[in-house]
Amino acid sequence: NAGVTQTPKFQVLKTGQSMTLQCAQDMNHNSMYWYRQDPGMGLRLIYYSASEGTTDKGEVPNGYNVSRLNKREFSLRLESAAPSQTSVYFCASTPQANSYEQYFGPGTRLTVT
């Protein structure tokens, strides 16, 4: 099992450009999450998908959209990138069973100039 995979690992965008961050998990988990990590801020939830076909806003959703394409894949889209979106983005998943444990991908480091 690869666990949670994310592509790309690194990306540089110019202000106003768009891009999609991809996330996939092969653990048959129901719930998936997107976080951003900024120095001194911990991890903040952007969007989550409790199950296939549903998505909900987290703490910092402005400037982002998501798609839960199927049970395996959960993508994050920046329609018009801004320098404030420079961050490290993590995808995570959880079985939605009784463990509550989230499994994290390796992250995508995004720089917006």
Partner 1 sequence: AQSVTQLDSQVPVFEEAPVELRCNYSSSVSVYLFWYVQYPNQGLQLLLKYLSGSTLVKGINGFEAEFNKSQTSFHLRKPSVHISDTAEYFCAVSGGSNYKLTFGKGTLLTVNP
Q: Alpha-carbon distance 70 to 23, whole Å?
A: 11
Is 1 a binding residue for partner 1 by CB under 8 A? The answer is no
Residue of 1, 2, 14, 40 interacting with partner 1 (CB under 8 A): 40
Residue of 2, 42, 53, 62 interacting with partner 1 (CB under 8 A): 42
Is 56 a binding residue for partner 1 by CB under 8 A? The answer is yes
Nearer to partner 1, 22 or 103 (CB): 103
CA neighbours within 13 Å on the CB side: how many for 53? 0
Is 61 a binding residue for partner 1 by CB under 8 A? The answer is no
Is 41 a binding residue for partner 1 by CB under 8 A? The answer is yes
Question: DSSP string covering 36-63, please?
Answer: EEETTTEEEEEEEESSTT--EE-S--TT
Query: CB under 8 A: which stretch of 11-19, 38-46, 63-71, 79-87 binds partner 1?
Result: 38-46
Report whether 111 contacts 38 (CB < 8 A).
no
Nearer to partner 1, 63 or 106 (CB): 106
Q: Alpha-carbon distance 86 to 113, whole Å?
A: 8
**Straight-line distance from the first to the last Cα atom of the chain, in angstroms, rounded to the nearest whole number:** 36
Binding site for partner 1 (CB under 8 A): 4, 31, 33, 40-45, 48, 50, 56, 58, 90, 92, 94, 96, 98-107
